[in-house]
Amino acid sequence: MSSIKIRTKRLDGNTQIRTLISHPMEHGRNKDKTTNKLIPAHYIQVLTVTHNGKPIAICNMGAGISKDPYFAFLLKGGSPGDQITIDWVDNLGNKDSEKHTIT
Amino acid sequence: MKASRRKFLITTIAFSAAGIALFKSSLANAEWLSADFEPGSFDATMKQLLKGKPIVETDKIDLNIPEIAENGALVPITVTSSLKDIKNLAIVVEQNPIPLAIEAVLMPELEPFLSARLKLASTSFVFAIAETEKVCYSVKKKVKVTIGGCGG
């Protein structure tokens, strides 16, 4: 199952793209309560939003973003059938990608 | 029997080496701006972000964030702007160990709009910085955190 959920909504001729990613977003300073050891940093570094194959937003982020990050973008125009793709890469090299079609 | 085992081992090693190579290349392709996300002081981060451009305070950026956050681990923020030629939108939290939270390159196809959820280590000023061709526009707002937000 993909870690990314994408929802789109038409708003006054624009398209709102909302995404929810399930990711721990650990910044490396939290301690595991049972073992008393630091939890290693694990966070998304780059998030890319693509519209019909063209990147429209490239977000670089650190661990200052909450666990299970949520983002929203507003696309100018956009028509039903357009493809939205969201990709992320984290600091451990894991990645995921999800496609969505505007309805 | 022995020969096939050896062959199996060799192919396994070859494949895992290829896997590691792929993994490395994907890391290199990510092009994360690591210099911007160095833990450090707020001033150092701002200097790195502005790249020598002058900073102007403006009222054309709307920073929508609660003034009092009950839980610093989850603070919703929405940045909208009426400025036209924004290339780059950054959110900086003054008191966080790593002040820069997010730096988004927005292409002309997108409206200057970004919504996210931040972690705040303590009560702090939150800055939204919009980079245009010549100047950087900034807007700040103070957020009071009632519980320490260090928890993930």
Q: Closest approach of chain B CAs to the CA of A29, in angstroms?
A: 8
State the Cα–Cα distance between residues B105 and B94, nearest whole angstrom.
Answer: 21
Reduce the secondary structure of chain A to three states and give it as a string: CCCEEEEEEEECCEEEEEEEECCCCECCCCECCCCCCECCCECEEEEEEEECCEEEEEEEECCCECCCCEEEEEECCCCCCCEEEEEEEECCCCEEEEEEECC
* pLDDT tens, residue by residue, A37-95: 899 999 999 999 999 999 999 999 988 899 999 999 999 988 899 999 999 999 998 98
**Residues of chain B with confidence (pLDDT) below 50:** 22-30, 149, 151-152
Give the 3-state secondary structure of residue B1: coil
Residues in chain A within 8 Å Cβ distance of B101: 61-62, 64-65
Could you tell me the pTM of the whole model?
0.80
Q: Closest approach of chain A CAs to the CA of B66, in angstroms?
A: 15
Which residue reads 């900034």 in tokens?
Answer: B138
Establish whether this prediction's ipTM goes over 0.90. no
Asked if B93 lies within 8 A of A65 by C-beta distance, the reply is no
Count Cβ atoms below 10 Å from residue B140 Cβ, excluding itself. 15
pLDDT of res. A49: 94
* pLDDT tens, residue by residue, B15-57: 665 555 544 444 444 467 777 887 888 888 888 888 888 899 9
Which residue, among B30, B34, B44, B63, has the nearest Cα to B129 in the 3D structure? B63
Measured CA to CA in angstroms, residue B31 lies from A99, B14, B96, B143, B145 at distances of 22, 27, 23, 32, 33
pLDDT of res. B12: 63
Residues in chain A within 8 Å Cβ distance of B23: 93
pLDDT of res. B125: 92
How large is the average pLDDT for residues A21-25? 92
